[in-house]
Amino acid sequence: MLVDQSADMPGSMSEWASRFIGEFAGSVSREVADGFSAMADTARGTVDNYEVTDETLAATIGKVLPDS
C-alpha cells in the first residue's frame, strides 16, 4: 500500500518513505511527551496541596500508558 501511494508522488520512494516515517515518529514523540508533561503537572499539583485522588492519578497515567 505504501509503495502504491508513493508511485504518484514526486521524489524517490526512499525520500518519500523517510519523510512519512519521520512525520509519524514525530507525532508519536509529541504525544508521549505531552502525556509525560501532563503526569508531571499532576505530580506538581499534588505537591502543592499534598493530596491527589486515585482516580485523578489513574486517569493521568492512563493517558500516558493506556494499556496499564
4 pLDDT exceeds 60? no
Give the closest residue to 16 by CA, choosing from 7, 29, 26: 7
CA distance 37 to 22: 22
7 pLDDT exceeds 70? no
Cα-based distances in Å from 26 to 4, 16, 33, 56, 68? 23, 15, 10, 28, 23
Ranges of each domain in the chain: 29-68
How big is the chain, counted in residues?
A: 68
User: What is the per-residue pLDDT for 65?
Assistant: 72
The pLDDT tens digits of the residues spanning 9-58 come to: 667 888 888 888 888 888 889 988 888 888 787 777 666 666 767 887 78
